[in-house]
Amino acid sequence: MSARAFCFSLILLTPAVSLAATMSYEFDIDTKTVNITGNSVTALTVGGQIPAPTIRATVGDTLRATFHNHLDVTTSVHWHGVLLPGVQDGVPYVNTQPIQPGGSHTFEFPILHAGTFWYHSHTELQIQHGVYGAIVLSPSNTEPEIPEQVVVFSDWTDEDAEAVLANLKKADDFYSFKKDAVQSWDKVIANGAASIRNRLNSSFTRMGPMDLADVGYDAFLVNGLPESQLELPNGGEEQVKLRMINGSTSSYYDVEYTGGPMLVVAADGMDVAPVRVQRLRLSTAETYDVLVPVAAGQAFELRASSIDGTGFSRLFIGEGQRVMAPDIPPPNLFLMDHMAMDMDMDMSMDMDMSPDMQMPNSMPMPRQQEEPSSEPSLNAEHRATDMSMPMPPEVIEHMTDYQHLMARDTTVLPANQPWRDVHLRLSGNMERYVWSFDGKSAREEAQIFIRAGENVRFHLSNDTMMHHPLHLHGHFFRVVNQHGARSPLKHTVNIPPMGHVMIEFDASEDEDWLFHCHNQYHMKTGMARVVSYEESSLFTPDIGRLMQPANRWFRIDEFHLMSQFMDYEFTLSDERHSFDFELDADLVDTYEVHLLYNYHFTRFVSGFAGMETREHHHEGSHDIAIAGMNITLPFLIDSEWRVDDHGDFRLQLQSEMQLTKYIGFDWRWNDDNERRYGINFRLSNRFAITVHSDTEYGGGVGLQFFF
């Protein structure tokens, strides 16, 4: 029985409290001028607003939603976390056709389960511009015992989202200057011996300075504004349920409420045993239901602080005197040991495993003693207000992972099904801004194959220094933790830097379902797969090509204009290939031109071949063919090992160091005794004043800029 069929059977067995209805919605997707930061920019809206209108339905209803596309590009709508037929999932080409400019599309499917979910575009980077909204699926048409409010968090930039992605491709720390998060050596030294040791250790292992967020955002929003107010309908409530949704493009939040601890009662729409939390981490694309106390005459602040410390949004709940949330100090990345960041839910925990599953040391894991159910326990009735379970006396100060989450019922998978283990490494190259699984982008390896009737276990190991929120369409999975048979069900799971998480699900669907990082910039640069059922997959190479982002190739232009010479570098690259052009000239009679093709084998190794043309006033001109390897050495030194068509070998080394936020030092040396040294004073992300000395062209002062 599939998860959808299981939910439908529960509907049939549950006494009806009202007749099933068809809930119909109709929205326009269009552009609109908005002013959030003081600058007027063009945004995308659903129903004329950001976030989109909340869609509500009841278990047993049929949801019918029609979207009219008034854009001049295609768009789409994905129902995040909702179990539905694959053709209704909304991923362009994988299982639903995109909505063409001037066209319309109607989605229609039965509501099988209750919970807090959301909908958003799955086309390019349209989430960033405003195409996202909440979904509330209720167990019945009766009024909830506790008042409810929808809270949608999001991030905002006045820049075009495609320009943001292009900037991330230009430099791995492009937005660090804007965020005042440049990890320069003066700050390393100021943080003491542990900081210096961390930087040296990470540099030796060829890991650059870490950051917790890629983009420098202009604002963080709650219900579409940096600051919002919720007025309760009646003055006498003692508590309210908040349906919190992280509808961001790439941001994580630490959420805190000043009225007292939050009582977590559901995660990703699934009920959990109540947990009292002072501060709660919301990863991108997750939802949490929490109960919070309210009081007459006071307005308590719900603050969502970006985990990189660059800003927050605030929501005041109630009317009266404002009770403000504390400021959260920015994280001190200098004191974080890159080799000890495994904030994981690893196999060290007591977990429910299949009988043949073993630990790496070949010691079998003990079986849980609870009676397994035949299906995951998907809630037919949302019991967030069921206070019959004992309330936890302790308050968790800061919940950043899933170890405290426990399902209300057993979630053990069917015992009579075979197991399939899928091992995935989350990989990436921050310097080139390429993200992948097992070192391969979605363009290079599109599918993961499974078979219906299997229990599937994904072993997810994060080899990068970034958080990755992974989302599986069309399924709920168990996030295996120390609660064993009652490990929680989710549809989105965060994999922390250098962390390990294991998820399990019943392969009870068919055809094809997307699995991807929900950081949209990571997904669009390669961290995605299609989970395909071998027997029924409709996925083809043509679909694989159609599903890829429109912009495959990115360019980087860097120009030095010095008093004694100029240096222009141009690169055109995708995930694996790059074409490089470099021109050095003294503006009189000496120049050197390189034209190269690079193939990037791994993050640290690439091979190249091409031509070099040189004209020198006392050497004459010559053209040679060259080939070789680029290898990143310990301490992030870039080395070039090349040979030319005359059989001459050359080794070149180069590197750069950020001494302060504004001052950087770079150098280049090769065994032809050519040397270049420079000091750069950074004015912005794109411009710097530079002083350079070069054995070929002499010394001078000038400008350096990206464009």
Query: Other CB atoms closer than 10 Å to residue 63's CB: what's the count?
Result: 24
- 404, 275 Cβ separation under 8 angstroms: yes
For residue 679, is pLDDT > 80? Answer: yes
Query: Is residue 19 packed enough to be buried (19+ CB in 10 Å), middle (13-18) or exposed (0-12)?
Result: exposed
DSSP SS3 for 695: coil
Residue 618: pLDDT band (50, 70, 90) is low
Q: How confident is the model at residue 367 (pLDDT cuts 50, 70, 90)?
A: very low
Q: Based on the domain organization, do 152 and 48 belong to the same domain?
A: no
52 and 114 part of one domain: yes
H or E stretch covering 665: strand 663-670
Q: What is the average pLDDT value for the chain, to the nearest integer? A: 89
pLDDT, mean of residues 190-196: 95
DSSP assignment string, 527-559: -EEEEEETTT----HHHHHHHS-S---EEEEEE
Residue after which a domain boundary falls, among 523, 551, 579: 551
Q: Is the pLDDT of residue 12 over 80?
A: no
Final residue before a domain boundary, out of 551, 579, 595? 551
Range of the domain at 326: 147-173+212-331+391-400
412 in a structural domain: no
Please check whether residues 559 and 547 belong to one and the same domain: no
The answer to whether residue 426 sits within a structural domain is yes
Does 131 share its domain with 161? no
> Per the domain annotation, does 565 fall within a domain?
yes
Residue 41 pLDDT class (50, 70, 90 cuts): very high
Domain shared by 164 and 111, yes or no = no
- Per cent of the chain over pLDDT 90 is 78
**Is the pLDDT confidence value at 356 over 80?**
no
Q: Yes or no: say if 129 and 154 are a contact pair by the CB < 8 Å rule.
A: no
- The pLDDT assigned to 338 comes to 59
Per-residue pLDDT, averaged over 264-269, amounts to 98
Choosing from 536, 551, 566, the residue where a domain stops is 551
φ, ψ of residue 477 to 5 degrees: the values are -125, 155
Q: Residue 352 domain-assigned?
A: no
Span 619-641, pLDDT tens digits: 778 899 999 999 999 999 999 99
**Does the pLDDT value for residue 225 go beyond 60?**
yes
Instruction: Please check whether residues 242 and 290 belong to one and the same domain.
Output: yes
Task: Decide if pLDDT at 372 tops 60.
Answer: no
- pLDDT greater than 80 at residue 399: yes
Report the share of the chain in percent with pLDDT over 70. 89
Residue 513 lies in a domain: yes
Q: Are residues 304 and 166 in the same domain?
A: yes
Rounded Cα–Cα distance for residues 546 and 129 (Å): 22
Rg of the chain over Cα atoms, rounded to whole angstroms, equals 27
Co-location of 132 and 153 in the same domain: no
pLDDT at 365: 30
Residue 564 included in any domain: yes
SS (H, E, C) 214-236: CCCCCEEEECCECEEEECCCCCC
Query: Which residues face 146 on adjacent strands?
Result: none
For 700, the 3-state DSSP assignment is strand
Model confidence at 24: pLDDT above 80: yes
Structure tokens given for 89: 């999932």
pLDDT, average across residues 87-108: 98
Res 339: pLDDT: 54
CATH number of the domain at 62, please. Answer: 2.60.40.420
Residues forming beta bridges with residue 495, ordered by sequence position: 468
pLDDT band at 152 (very low <50, low <70, confident <90, very high): very high
Q: What is the pLDDT of residues 270-282, one digit of tens each?
A: 999 999 999 999 9
553 φ, ψ to 5°?
Answer: -100, 135
Nearest to 64 by CA among 90, 121, 25, 98: 25
Inter-CA distances, 491 with 136, 404, 504, Å: 16, 17, 11
Residue 24 shares a structural domain with residue 57: yes
The number of domains in the chain is 4
Residues 492 and 578 in one domain: no
On whether residue 271 sits in a domain, the answer given is: yes
More confident call, 236 vs 91? 91
**Helix, strand or coil, per DSSP, at residue 574:** coil
Confidence class for position 336, pLDDT limits 50, 70, 90: confident
* Position 573 in a domain: yes
Same domain, 151 and 299: yes
The verdict on 435 and 315 lying in the same domain is no
pLDDT digits (tens, 9 = 90+) for 295-306: 989 999 999 999
Q: Three-state SS for 384?
A: coil
Burial 371-395, CB ≥16 within 10 A → b, else e = ebeebbbbbbebbbeeeeeeebeee
